[in-house]
A and B are shown apart, each in its own frame.
Chain A
């Protein structure tokens, strides 16, 4: 079981050692990161194999839960830990002139993210979340332009205040229950958190962590940060970091805050995010910001999907989140050479047809054209939303549907621009770097494979959703079958 800690510890260790050893190792250091990530992937795979899908818990420091701090490893956690490593590997800054410090930050981010996925109590989550934040600040500012620093500063302030709110929320929970262990909280929640205080705590944590998850209204940092950071970092932020924040919120919601009010709060914020994100993207005039706003809208959709009560919601949310996790990084990577106003991009697709084709593929999946995976995600969401009685859910379904129309419009306005015949004053379009295009192609292949394997994937996701929604399983796994609750 030490493998679990290894998953978190290995990247962290490498991250701290790398800057020190950099001088000694020289150019070798740039291989350390990928190797660590690869090891991580193998570790998680073997773990998954060994556990055969059954969840298990791990207490750190020798204290039995609920006293100590613990890890909880189920399929969802493993899946996200795996995705963290894979995505980090794909989006690794391979460029030769990369500052070695960036490698360290990347590894730090990976370690923190894995830790966040696996953590079983609020304290751990908080610590890893902060680590993740610090790593992301560093990465975002790594281009070292004035705009990047300014954007990072603004991001940091919002994020910092978000942390304050999340902490306040945690404090509220603690006041009510006297514990921070998720399993223990889950047993206490029905009696002690199903009230206004609990709801407030949830709202505070939602908003605090939501800063990372691009939740409306605390996502104003998104367009400027994504526009100033390097595309790989933007891809990582939009694809991965946001999803991990969502994961935490979902864990909390399933285990501690299953009240309908909490769900509807999240739903309302999600709907607002969809609406504002997609409409802003419709108005956006350059590719990167269009993607940023679109990302806000998509994250809104993720929240909307997760706010459907019960297993259907987890399934739908998981589908939307995983899909976005694949598609948005790919689009950001394509933006590496296509950053700029639409006018600049006329005919760019004719220069690099592969890139343009991939763009079309991802855009089609993003708007949910069957049989691409995006469609199934959207279908699950809509069917789930319409299955609810509360009118807010129906409103949400309508908003999601209308937003899709806007989404099609802006994505393909851009897509067609790529194929426009070039004017005489043609821009010089640099072709995509081979590594970018290769990564995106791999992602495209993954997308298409997912399309063909959608039936078995669906079953697998169903089991994950089953497991995630099973509160009893969580409690008994962490606290023991007898129920170690004091």
Chain B
């Protein structure tokens, strides 16, 4: 019991730290691709601390605050559902379906917070974000179904055990893995599927009324988001965590792929994203599913 509670505290912390490194990696990769030096090592952490200690902290109401709390808290809780080497947390109590739905809580929190800001540009961003969710979740659930069917379980720990005994999922289900990678791009909200964030046009998107620690909260969320995406994909297809070094390597590689793709593409409009997501990954997913289930 005690170890479990320790794990529950430790897992989000580890996730946060690794997530920060992933953010750093993203910024570095972006910088290198653009022939820049990139930020220093502690920049992601510094950003977060800086945002939280700003003097001007504009709140648009209680729900604005609660939205950010839900966004961060939801991810903190979700990390305990993702097994990492040596720590299973409560992964056996939820499984992949529960995790998928847990990951919607931060989005919902963010949506509520943005809604409270009474800025139509923010609401437009949420409308697009939810539409994007509708887009990428459909291939994503196909992948989840295929994977769970293949492993015969929804328990992530069991999936890791299976892969460690029988080889990685990516070998046995290459097409599903491909589809999964495609949806990862959407889950992480990276280009070309990042119109709802629209970082270049700050006047539109969820961030429009976010400043100070609200922005800081979003940064924390981003760290968690990267980590979650990486670990989830690793757990589903890449054998999960046997030990920390290989596990870290795997999750960083997984995350780096979408990041690299992101910097090479412009963005899709919402409806084009729908079209794309409902076409290729869904087709790939269904083929993969058919191969898995035949």
CB atoms of A and B under 8 A apart anywhere in the complex?
no
> Which residues of A come within 8 Å of B, CB atoms?
none
